[in-house]
Amino acid sequence: MSLCSVPVLTTRELIERYDAHAPRYTSYPTAAQFTPAVGAGDWAGWLSSAPLDQPVSLYLHIPFCKRLCWYCGCNTRAMNRAGVISGYVDLLLAEADLVLAKIGRPVSVGSIHLGGGTPNMLSPDDLEWLFDGLSARFDLSDCSEIAAELDPEVLTPEWIEAAGRIGLTRASLGVQDLSLRVQAAVNRPESFDTIRAAAEGLRAQGVTSLNLDLMYGLPLQTTADVVATLEQVTTLRPERIALFGYAHVPWMKPHQKLINDADLPDAETRFEQSQTAAHYLACNGWRPIGLDHFALPHDTMAQAHRAGRLRRNFQGYTTDEAPVLIGLGASSISRTPRGFVQNHAKERDWRMAVEAGELPLARGVELTPRDAFVGEIIERLMCDFVVDVAAVAGRHRRDLDEVAGAWPLLDRFVRDRLIGVQDNLVTVTPLGRPFVRAVCAVFDPNAVGLQQKHGRVV
């Protein structure tokens, strides 16, 4: 039977067939494969041999929020005690000292990312103290990007002014949805006026790239709510918009049990929300980037996408090509060409280790040559929706037989018009792009066994 004679499946049929649990593939191997078998001793060795011929990236995790949003999947907690937060900053710098001692060489930094949690829970003085400390420890002369994830409800004019003094260039504002009904269902009240004031204040202080985080699939959320939110926030002309699907994993994030399961939209409605939003953004000037990002044509992310240089890491899609990422703070993930490591997720355990003068490592995974090969296949599919598997095998000096088991599993994707396969070239079709994580999982031998540690594809 020819492909032309195969009936085209409806959206509902595609969802029923492919909406399984699958990783987001912000790394390969995924964080679900990290184990305590990789610890501080391994990390120390990887640091001492890390390639430092180009600047490294720094990620600093701030695990504090003013409020706990019920949808949140991040490592954070509600905290309003200034002394605890200031003490955390001192320990971030102490951890930096421990890392630098293991490296044993000067380190140049090309980019700094503050994530959370809510980095603007730091006071303006704490923020400047932190950057003074980083400047004293690292060479920041080549640092071209300083980015932070911010909660507009907590953002003050004083903090924005301090951000200008440290040289903040990119800011990501959490919006999610502007419907009052949806906000109440996830414990995140926020007005558009607050978001607009934050955006205008940040731009006045030198922020040249503004990202807005939006979500679909939230409780009580409708497609009309998603569009209404877009109609308001796009008036701000943010350079980037991230449109994430809510991952309901209450068995991993107990506070998500506060969300009424009956209020969640079904898979077909989620799909409609995501596709309607993508169409709206494309019609209004934002280029689709990978699975869930959008960027104006002049933004560096759109430029990297056009050039085939888009990358993917634990912050999602990125332009960061540094081979070494140093993560500081509770739950932070670091990377060298040797592998990935993660700090203790519990802030108490992280604090105790740093105070004892120990690298606060909890787990990790060492990369094998096969991991690097499979990881590039998955990253290119996630970023470009196309990969030449033979070319990747050549770059890594691997045998194509190592992924021979994937080809028969791809047949159903071909029959359903989600991908095309010609020789060793795999191309995800426009119809298949929402299901790209399921395509990637075909190349991942661990995907099936770790399904319950991940959200659904759609």
Domain region containing 17: 3-24+368-445
How many domains would you assign to the chain? Answer: 2
Do 19 and 81 lie in one domain? The reply is no
Do 403 and 332 lie in one domain? The reply is no
**Does residue 171 register a pLDDT over 70?**
yes
Residue 450 confidence (pLDDT): 61
Do 220 and 113 lie in one domain? The reply is yes
Residue 7 confidence (pLDDT): 60
What's the average model confidence in pLDDT over 290-307?
96
Do 17 and 42 lie in one domain? The reply is no
Alpha-carbon torsion 443, 392, 311, 425, what sign? negative
Do 246 and 373 lie in one domain? The reply is no
Do 295 and 418 lie in one domain? The reply is no
Instruction: For 399-436, write each residue's pLDDT tens digit.
Output: 999 999 999 999 999 999 999 999 999 999 999 999 99
Q: Are 359 and 98 in contact (CB under 8 A)?
A: yes
Q: Does 44 fall in a domain?
A: yes
Edge-to-edge strand list for the sheet holding 386-388: 386-388, 425-428, 419-422
Q: Does 417 fall in a domain?
A: yes
- CATH number of the domain bearing residue 12: 1.10.10.920
**Does residue 456 register a pLDDT over 80?**
no
Confidence grade of residue 19 (pLDDT, cut at 50, 70, 90): confident
Q: Does 344 fall in a domain?
A: no
Confidence grade of residue 8 (pLDDT, cut at 50, 70, 90): confident
Confidence grade of residue 6 (pLDDT, cut at 50, 70, 90): low
Question: Rounded CA gap, 210 and 298, in Å?
Answer: 13
* 195 vs 454, more confident: 195
Q: Does 181 fall in a domain?
A: yes
How, if at all, do strands 316-318 and 311-313 pair?
antiparallel
Instruction: For 65-83, write each residue's pLDDT tens digit.
Output: 988 888 887 778 777 788 8
Q: Does 420 fall in a domain?
A: yes
Do 189 and 315 lie in one domain? The reply is yes
Q: Which of 265, 328, 281 is closest to 91 using CA atoms? A: 328
Instruction: For 309-326, write each residue's pLDDT tens digit.
Output: 999 998 889 999 999 999
Do 39 and 175 lie in one domain? The reply is yes
Confidence grade of residue 178 (pLDDT, cut at 50, 70, 90): very high
* 111 vs 452, more confident: 111
Do 255 and 387 lie in one domain? The reply is no
Do 198 and 136 lie in one domain? The reply is yes
Do 329 and 413 lie in one domain? The reply is no
Residue 37 confidence (pLDDT): 97
- CATH number of the domain bearing residue 172: 3.80.30.20
Do 141 and 51 lie in one domain? The reply is yes
Q: How many CB atoms lie within 10 A of CB 442?
A: 22
**Does residue 451 register a pLDDT over 70?**
no
**Does residue 2 register a pLDDT over 60?**
no
Q: Does 283 fall in a domain?
A: yes
Pick from 8-22, 128-142, 420-434: least confident? 8-22
Write down which residue in 347, 364, 381 finishes a domain. Answer: 364
